[in-house]
Structure 1
Amino acid sequence: MKKLISLSILFVTISAYAQNFSGKATYKTSRKSNFKIGGEKSTMSDAQKKEIEARIRKMSQRTFVLEFDKSTSIYKEEVKLNAPKPQMGGVRVMSFGSGNSGAFYKNLKEKRYANKTEIMGKAFLVKDSLPNYEWQLSSDTKNIGNYTCYKATFTREVENVNMSLVNGVPKEEKKMQTIVTTAWYTTQVPISNGPSDYQGLPGLILEINDGTTTIVCTEIVINPSEKIKIIEPEKGKVVTQEKYDKISEAKAKEMMERFKSKNGNGIEIRIGG
């Protein structure tokens, strides 16, 4: 059985050094997709299906920047020119969710967050309490760049929603799933923070994987010459996370209806959890 490291002891390091810390960390994200195109009546060739699926996977590869100080942070996608949405065989690939305008603000001291995001062009500001992850710390280590990182995991039960459009007929399937999330953090950057809503470890999270999405830090700049200004986002319809999830699910169903085939061409689309 692996030896667990005490959170209380390691957090002493953070409180001693975090007072003067600020910086930014760059993260690359990638998502494992079960997006499938096909169906009994599909007129597309196998090559066309594979190309569209490859483009969908590429759309999930994104770059984010986390700017932080001792108690607050903001996590935003790196600004870049919008590429044209890919098309193939008469099928237009649509993205669903937040765009480059998104910003995830965390206040560690007050244990809350404000997530500026959008769904199908409508702006939302999701405000809620930070999740309390029950991290299990391990003595396992590995190097990420020049940093020594320690392993931590937590397990949770989530409802996985699988929505599909098969031969023009929308379907929805829900089931509970056990998710094990693995993080690698470094006490060399003594800030209890990380990408997205991840936090609560005795050091900055440099890598995290929940079985579907992998986020890896590629660069860290501590106390940069240009002063970091962290501003909490304000624009957007204010909702709780629970309310936002319900709106998101409803909009996903609406998007499926838009995909619904009028001539039964057998396109199948699956969007997992």
Structure 2
Amino acid sequence: MKKIVFASFFVFSYLVTHAQKDFQGMAVYESKTSTADFKSRFEGNKEITPEMQKMIEERMKKMFEKTFFLNFDKSASIYKEEEKLETPGQGQGGFRMMSSVMGGGGTYYKNVKDKTYTVDKEFMGKEFLVKDSLRTYNWQMTGETRVIGGYNCFKATTVIPASKTDFRNFRPKKEEEKKEDKAKEETKEGTKTSFMDQIELPKEVTITAWYTPEIPVSQGPEGYWGLPGLILEVNDGKTTILCSKIVLNPKDKAEIKAPSNGKEVSQKEYDEIVIKKMEEMQEMNSGRGGGFQMRMSR
């Protein structure tokens, strides 16, 4: 009898360990960013025809509303934007440049065991491989609960510094604010106006996350992680990322590995490259008689 019990326990332990080792899941996320601040830049502009206004809104929707797939196991995950065919003329000019720093467009690999991430990014026609340590979030548990997609979720919040290269945090300055800044700068001899002077960026961003302990993996969309359950929704005030579908142990397993193409840089180095390039473009536009502008091809 003891032998039978021991054998049963051994088989059960093997099956549990094997199941954990092979465990994998897939989650679909819908990301939507508020465009109110950007739309206000075009409202009331007599030079913009109704046709141009419609085109702008359509392209902005493509930039600010996206679908992503997260494939995850117990220790790692890959987060990728849904691939879509571009129509002729789509993604040109300023919109293409902006789209490259709007999140997505590559593979975001997180390893929560090693606390590292790797993401391949394309910016201004060049490929970069950003490798760095995962951010440590100081999550505060609130005790609030809600149901998302049939899963019981708990609320957690944290405050982080705003990224200088995540355009979703940006708000273009109003003309009145630009005139005030220009007047101040004119009093300073030899002072140049940089790209960062053309926009407003909050110092901090409050993150609200909803996670479910029913899927006990410390994963989530983009770079979010560190909670005792899969994060199903994230909101930073302007952008909401909501899980719309979950498949546990799908038949077709995804290969969860870090991307490897591109020039390897740290997150700080990549941010400096982006800001420098944006300032160079602003100087080029200033040479034509204007400040930094988003140029759009029809």
Matched position secondary structure for 1:114 = strand
Q: What per-residue deviation string (whole Å, max 9, x for no partner) do you get for residues 33-87 of structure 1?
A: 3225449986224774465245313421111101111101111111221234459
Could you say if the C-alpha distance between residues 257 and 108 of structure 1 is closer, same or farther in structure 2, counting changes exceeding 3 Å?
Answer: same
Range 255-264 or range 152-161, more displaced? 255-264
CA distance in 2, matches of 1:247, 1:86: 25
RMSD of Structure 2 on Structure 1 (CA): 3.5
Aligned to 1:7: none
**1:189 maps to amino acid:** I
CA distance in 2, matches of 1:100, 1:183: 19
- The 8 Å contact of residues 120 and 259 in structure 2, kept in 1 or not, is answered as yes
- The 8 Å contact of residues 113 and 129 in structure 1, kept in 2 or not, is answered as yes
**1:29 maps to amino acid:** S
2:117 paired with 1:113? yes
Aligned to 2:240: 214
Which of 132, 135, 138 is the aligned partner of 2:139? 135
CA distance in 2, matches of 1:68, 1:159: 25
Aligned to 1:3: none
Alignment of 1:1-273 (within 5 A): 19-33=21-35, 34-36=37-39, 37-38=41-42, 43-45=47-49, 48-49=52-53, 51-53=55-57, 55-85=59-89, 93-96=95-98, 97=100, 101-158=105-162, 172-173=196-197, 176-256=202-282, 262=288, 269=294
**1:59 maps to amino acid:** M
Greater per-residue helix proportion: 2
Structure 1 length as normaliser, TM-score?
A: 0.78
Greater per-residue strand proportion: 1
Could you say if the C-alpha distance between residues 165 and 245 of structure 1 is closer, same or farther in structure 2, counting changes exceeding 3 Å?
Answer: farther
For structure 1, the residue ranges without an aligned partner over 5 or more in a row are 1-14
Could you say if the C-alpha distance between residues 170 and 239 of structure 1 is closer, same or farther in structure 2, counting changes exceeding 3 Å?
Answer: closer
**1:229 maps to amino acid:** E
CA distance in 2, matches of 1:95, 1:175: 19
CA distance in 2, matches of 1:92, 1:165: 19
Could you say if the C-alpha distance between residues 100 and 137 of structure 1 is closer, same or farther in structure 2, counting changes exceeding 3 Å?
Answer: closer
For structure 2, the residue ranges without an aligned partner over 5 or more in a row are 1-16, 165-169, 179-192
The number of residue pairs the alignment matches comes to: 251
Bigger radius of gyration among the two: 2
Matched position secondary structure for 1:35 = helix
Identity rate, percent: 42
Range 144-153 or range 38-47, more displaced? 38-47
- The 8 Å contact of residues 78 and 256 in structure 2, kept in 1 or not, is answered as yes
Could you say if the C-alpha distance between residues 202 and 256 of structure 1 is closer, same or farther in structure 2, counting changes exceeding 3 Å?
Answer: same
**1:172 maps to amino acid:** M
Structure 2 length as normaliser, TM-score?
A: 0.72
Which structure is higher in RCO with an 8 Å CA cutoff and minimum separation 6? 1
Could you say if the C-alpha distance between residues 175 and 198 of structure 1 is closer, same or farther in structure 2, counting changes exceeding 3 Å?
Answer: closer
Matched position secondary structure for 2:56 = helix
**2:240 maps to amino acid:** T
